[in-house]
Amino acid sequence: MVYDAAVIGAGVTGAFIARELSRYQLNVCLLEKEEDVAMGTTKANSAIVHAGYDAKHGTLKSLLNVRGNALMEQVTRELGVPFKRIGSLVLAFNEEDRSVLEQLYQNGIQNKVPGLRLLNAKETVAMEPNVSHRVVGSLYAPTAGITCPYELALGAVENAVQNGVDLKRDCRVLDIRKEKSMEKGQENFVLTTEQGEIRASYVVNAAGVYGEIVSEMVQERSFTIHPRKGEYLLLDKSQGNLVHSVIFQTPTKMGKGVLVTPTVDGNLLTGPTSLDVSEKDDVGTTAEGLEKVRKEAGKSVPELPFRDVITSFVGLRATPDTGDFIIEASGTVKGFLNVVGIESPGLTAAPAIGEYAVDLLKKEGLPLVPRGDFQSVRKPIVRFREQTDEEKQRLIRENPLYGNVICRCETITEGEIVDSIRRPAGARSLDGVKRRTRAGMGRCQGGFCTPRVAAILARELRIPEEKVTKKGKGSELLVEKRGSSC
Amino acid sequence: MLNVDLAVIGGGPAGLAAALEARKNGIEKVLILERDKELGGILQQCIHNGFGLHYFGEELTGPEYAERFVEQVEEQGIPYKCDTMVLHLSRDRTITAINRTDGLMKIKAKAVVLAMGCRERTRGALNIPGSRPAGIYTAGTAQRFVNMDGYLPGRKVVILGSGDIGLIMARRLTLEGAEVRMVCELLPYSGGLNRNIVQCLEDYQIPLKLSHTVTNIFGKERLEGVTVAQVDSSRQPIRETEEYVPCDTLLLSVGLIPENELSREAGVPLDRLTSGPIVKETMETCVEGIFACGNVVHVHDLVDFVTRESITAGRCAAEYIRKQKDAGSVPGEDRKTGGSAQDQNKDVAAEAGCQSDGIQTVASDGIKYVVPQYAGRGEHPEGLKLFFRVDGIYRNVRIAVQCDDHEIYSVRKRKVAPGEMETLTLKPELLGDLNTCSELRVELVSQDK
């Protein structure tokens, strides 16, 4: 068969394009090289829904940022994903910073960002008592917020799958060529993948840091995407109240600097560093990087308790050489759409990018006939710990698996873990379960629940426990089954 | 609402001993809540021997040690619920717990014993840089895989940290056919028991690299190797000494942290030095009717001492319940549970309460912490037992206890180390004039490090 459209890359960008396409009477496939969705840039970033004052007025970034921010409430409600509009502050520590804030403010006004206000030092400290008292002023953006990036992507993918999109994981695209279509009497693409050949009339390149590689499979290089590494530290929930909004420093040309923010799950996040790297899978943290985060974050919030760090991680931004998102149909190869260079504010923009990209496909000739049965709502995994006592009681009555706590730090039950495996685009690895349920994300970082989650995965996937992986093939947790010790 | 006299949270060695002792002291309605599928706690996966030398005068395995208490619990008919997770504890001693068969339960207890034990420190807490492949486990997780589930987690192993579980796992994995390349310890001395260094490393020719740490982690899917480097006196890696060690498994045995999330929710004041509740010598916390014992209070090296401490907790909890009954009041009924912000202030108030009825013990020169943190001002017919750890290795020292500036006790030690918990007992006659004391200071004198 020939798909109407193939989307390459199931990060948050590809996820929203696939979801948007699933509104129409189309056969769509979503191809992901990793064992799970949201494994690249989407997995590790600041999780901020930006207000939109930062992106230069007139760029695609500025347009899609503000539109994405405005869509976020509805989208997260439909997809059952956490989102909190907690506002943000950009801190200025000297007059030079303050003039940058003034420019950001003016830029934001042009971008039509609602509610922006320049605050003086006193107002800033009144709003966030734990920020450095060296602050001389700040830019307050009430529409900024926080979400969970991989949950947002997962929500969009699950919803797309619910609406008929074929998700293929472990399906790296190796080559793309054109052929005369047997069925339709016109040209279509043939994608050579790890799972054989896949045919599609339209191809969307949403391959993140691999975007230039995929693009080069069909056309001359017209841009470069290089990975820019950012290191983060995540602190325990006991510190989640240290600040109540997203605290930025005045931006430089390397990015928005090190921020300090609560997460939707109540932890405190700080980072990122910003370092251009050559490897597209260089996700190792470094002693220098983490030290830099500590030092820089301390400028904003001096009393950060780094002994409460529970984990550190690296994210790679897909930084384009053009300075703006590259969302355009190929000038030379009909039916091929690049959606690349989606660095910050890509997470915020994702729902708007979905709309924008599908609109471009329409202009390229993809017929969009709405489906009558599109389901916009995705039912999320129940968060047992957030339920009332009565609701908990009801859940356990209906399914006793909810009465069995597997991850004790985050109070994640067996019911939630089984749901995360069985649902559409379900988890197939320890990390997959972790991203969907938070099992293993707490202060003991999986020390307690790892053997238990592994056993549930083995049972649900009907595989031997020694085949259970952390994050796909090659990452098996155990090397050998011994004789039973009992 | 289920009403009990004593609720014990945790069915490991601490909880079992406390429950049994309370029953021996006449408390009928005791309930043990255990989150695992059986009683015994972490002892069930400690299949090596060396348990019970102090308490039973014989050498037992972990499960054997646990079994002695589990059998008594069965004989005494003390009710317990396994596979049961306590979700919340409030200051008025109302417990919210769930399991598959009872659903969500509210349990109101006249007294509570906290016996939740401890958890292992993780890589995150250490901030070891590098990638995030499979094959990095805390020593206890690996122990569970090997001893409970019957799986080998890896073949070439580096162990970071020379805590007791790490040492035990070095031997265990060697016996299972894995190659343990080395045990690295950041400090210039091991945090484990000396007997474990001898029996688990030296006997198997496993190198113990003191003043060494893991500086980087390599491997995308599964761990492929780590770099190990010597550290200087300020514990910073010396780059020139960095060495790449191929391995598929890294075990972390870098310390244990008392598990006090429930205590915190109940507004129980904690000691920053131990990370456990501040306790009086009765093992009562600063919140009336809530007692604590075992690793939830401070991390022990030997279960035998956990048992002794827990017996005290059980006995004193029983006494507390009896007194309340005699007085005809139901403790805590008049109190309301507050929100978390209020609870924080209550913490402070509760600690002030501890302070006003007791003499504070203080860890002074060379001492890391002292438990209990408060001693009652009244009579001490059985004397006062203090548990403490030193903060480094010292030889030929005198450990002294000062009542304000007046030395009331001292003992000589040939060698003391942070890895071995120390204990001393102040006899009743020494405590005669404690009432005049504002603090009891434990310190090291005439040290030669």
In tens, the pLDDT along A291-327 reads 999 999 999 999 899 988 888 999 999 999 999 999 9
pLDDT score of B343 more than 90: no
The confidence score (pLDDT) of residue B335 equals: 43
Q: Which tokens in the block code for residue B397?
A: 């020292």
Instruction: Mark yes or no for CB contact A444/B119 under 8 Å.
Output: yes
Give B339's pLDDT tier (boundaries 50, 70, 90).
very low
Percentage of chain B exceeding pLDDT 70: 94
Range among A105-109, B217-221, B325-329 rated most confident: A105-109
Lowest mean pLDDT among A417-426, A468-477, B417-426: B417-426
Q: Do domains B2-118+257-337 and B122-254 have the same CATH topology?
A: yes
B137 interface with A at CB cutoff 8 Å: yes
**Positive/negative CA dihedral, A104, A107, A109, A113:** negative
Instruction: Mark yes or no for CB contact A478/B99 under 8 Å.
Output: no
Instruction: Mark yes or no for CB contact B151/A309 under 8 Å.
Output: no
B138 interface with A at CB cutoff 8 Å: yes
Instruction: Mark yes or no for CB contact A312/B124 under 8 Å.
Output: yes
Which sequence spans correspond to the domains of chain B? 2-118+257-337, 122-254, 358-449
Chain centroid to CA B235:
26
Question: What average pLDDT does range B346-354 have in this prediction?
Answer: 76
Beta bridge partners of B285: B279
In tens, the pLDDT along B127-172 reads 788 888 999 999 999 999 999 999 999 999 999 999 899 999 999 9
The confidence score (pLDDT) of residue A484 equals: 53
Q: Is the ipTM of this complex over 0.85?
A: yes
The confidence score (pLDDT) of residue A314 equals: 93
B343 interface with A at CB cutoff 8 Å: no
In tens, the pLDDT along A222-246 reads 899 999 999 999 998 888 899 999 9
Instruction: Mark yes or no for CB contact A473/B151 under 8 Å.
Output: no
Close Cβ partners of A335 (under 8 Å, ≥ 6 residues apart)? A187, A188, A189, A201, A202, A203, A364, A365
The confidence score (pLDDT) of residue A298 equals: 94
Instruction: Mark yes or no for CB contact A389/B176 under 8 Å.
Output: no
Report the gap between the CA of A216 and the closest CA in chain B (Å). Answer: 26
In tens, the pLDDT along B177-187 reads 999 999 999 99
Instruction: Give the residue from chain A lying closest to B145, CA to CA.
Output: A451
Taking residue B377's Cβ as centre, other Cβ atoms within 10 Å add up to 15
Instruction: Give the residue from chain B lying closest to A469, CA to CA.
Output: B134
The confidence score (pLDDT) of residue B342 equals: 47
Chain B positions touching A457 (Cβ under 8 A) are none
Question: What average pLDDT does range A268-290 have in this prediction?
Answer: 91
Chain B positions touching A446 (Cβ under 8 A) are 141
Instruction: Mark yes or no for CB contact B155/A479 under 8 Å.
Output: yes
Residue among B102, B148, B153 whose CB faces A478 most closely? B153
* CATH for the A84-143+227-318 domain, from 1.10.10.10, 3.30.9.10, 1.10.1740.10, 3.10.180.10: 3.30.9.10
Chain B positions touching A402 (Cβ under 8 A) are 98
Fold that domain A384-467 belongs to in CATH: Arc Repressor Mutant, subunit A (1.10.10)
The confidence score (pLDDT) of residue B340 equals: 45
pLDDT score of A390 more than 50: yes
| Substitution target from A269, A285, A468 for chain B, most B beta carbons within 10 A | A285
For B396-419, the DSSP string reads: EEEEEEEETTEEEEEEEEEEE-TT
Which B residues, 66 through 95, put their C-beta within 8 Å of a C-beta on chain A?
83, 85, 87
Instruction: Mark yes or no for CB contact B122/A475 under 8 Å.
Output: no
* CATH for the B358-449 domain, from 2.60.40, 1.10.150, 2.30.110, 1.10.101: 2.60.40
The confidence score (pLDDT) of residue A73 equals: 97
| Substitution target from A444, A463, A465, A481 for chain B, most B beta carbons within 10 A | A444
Instruction: Mark yes or no for CB contact B221/A475 under 8 Å.
Output: yes
Residue among B119, B150, B154 whose CB faces A483 most closely? B150
Query: Would you call A50 a catalytic residue per the annotation?
Result: yes
B239 interface with A at CB cutoff 8 Å: no
Cα gap B45→B25, rounded to integer Å? 31
The confidence score (pLDDT) of residue A337 equals: 97
In tens, the pLDDT along A410-422 reads 999 999 999 999 9
Cα gap B129→B124, rounded to integer Å? 9
Close Cβ partners of A338 (under 8 Å, ≥ 6 residues apart)? A205, A211, A215, A223, A326, A327, A328, A329, A330
Question: What average pLDDT does range A447-474 have in this prediction?
Answer: 96
Fold that domain B122-254 belongs to in CATH: FAD/NAD(P)-binding domain (3.50.50)
Q: Do domains A84-143+227-318 and A384-467 have the same CATH topology?
A: no
Chain A positions touching B220 (Cβ under 8 A) are 281, 474
Cα gap B189→B393, rounded to integer Å? 8
Question: What average pLDDT does range B231-250 have in this prediction?
Answer: 96
| Substitution target from B42, B106, B131, B132 for chain A, most A beta carbons within 10 A | B132
Instruction: Give the residue from chain A lying closest to B104, CA to CA.
Output: A393
Instruction: Mark yes or no for CB contact B138/A286 under 8 Å.
Output: no
Q: What is the mean pLDDT of chain A?
A: 95
In tens, the pLDDT along B381-413 reads 888 999 999 999 999 999 999 988 889 899 999
In tens, the pLDDT along B70-124 reads 999 999 999 999 999 999 999 999 999 999 999 999 999 999 999 999 999 887 6
Report the gap between the CA of B240 and the closest CA in chain A (Å). Answer: 16
Contact A230, A315 (CB under 8 A): yes
Instruction: Mark yes or no for CB contact B122/A313 under 8 Å.
Output: no
Instruction: Give the residue from chain B lying closest to A309, CA to CA.
Output: B125
Cis status, amide bond into A345, omega within 30 of 0: yes
- What separation, in Å, do the N-terminal and C-terminal C-alpha atoms of chain B show? 57
Give B436's pLDDT tier (boundaries 50, 70, 90).
confident
Percentage of chain A exceeding pLDDT 90: 87
Q: Which tokens in the block code for residue B294?
A: 């075992």
The confidence score (pLDDT) of residue A360 equals: 98
Which sequence spans correspond to the domains of chain A? 84-143+227-318, 384-467
Question: What average pLDDT does range A80-99 have in this prediction?
Answer: 96
Instruction: Mark yes or no for CB contact B150/A472 under 8 Å.
Output: no
The confidence score (pLDDT) of residue A182 equals: 67
Chain B positions touching A309 (Cβ under 8 A) are 124-125, 127
Q: What is the mean pLDDT of chain B?
A: 91
Instruction: Give the residue from chain A lying closest to B105, CA to CA.
Output: A393
pLDDT score of B338 more than 90: no
Instruction: Mark yes or no for CB contact B217/A479 under 8 Å.
Output: no
pLDDT score of A56 more than 60: yes
**Whose CA is closest to A163, among A79, A44, A230, A268?**
A79
Place of tokens 């609720």: B7
Residue among A290, A444, A445 whose CB faces B129 most closely? A290
Q: Which CATH architecture has domain B2-118+257-337?
A: 3-Layer(bba) Sandwich (3.50)
The residue type of B25 is: N
Cα gap B335→B343, rounded to integer Å? 12
pLDDT score of A189 more than 70: yes
pLDDT score of A483 more than 70: no
In tens, the pLDDT along B297-335 reads 999 999 999 999 999 999 999 999 999 988 876 554 444
Contact A272, A160 (CB under 8 A): no
Taking residue B311's Cβ as centre, other Cβ atoms within 10 Å add up to 21
Q: How do strand A88-92 and strand A246-249 relate by DSSP bridges?
A: parallel
pLDDT score of B372 more than 90: yes
Question: What average pLDDT does range B225-248 have in this prediction?
Answer: 96
The confidence score (pLDDT) of residue B329 equals: 60
Contact A209, A225 (CB under 8 A): yes
Q: Is A114 exposed, middle or buried (0-12, 13-18, 19+ CB in 10 A)?
A: middle
Size of interface A-B (CB pairs under 8 A): 151
Which B residues, 96 through 115, put their C-beta within 8 Å of a C-beta on chain A?
96, 98-104, 106
Q: Which tokens in the block code for residue A282?
A: 């260089």
In tens, the pLDDT along A15-46 reads 999 999 999 999 999 999 999 999 999 999 99
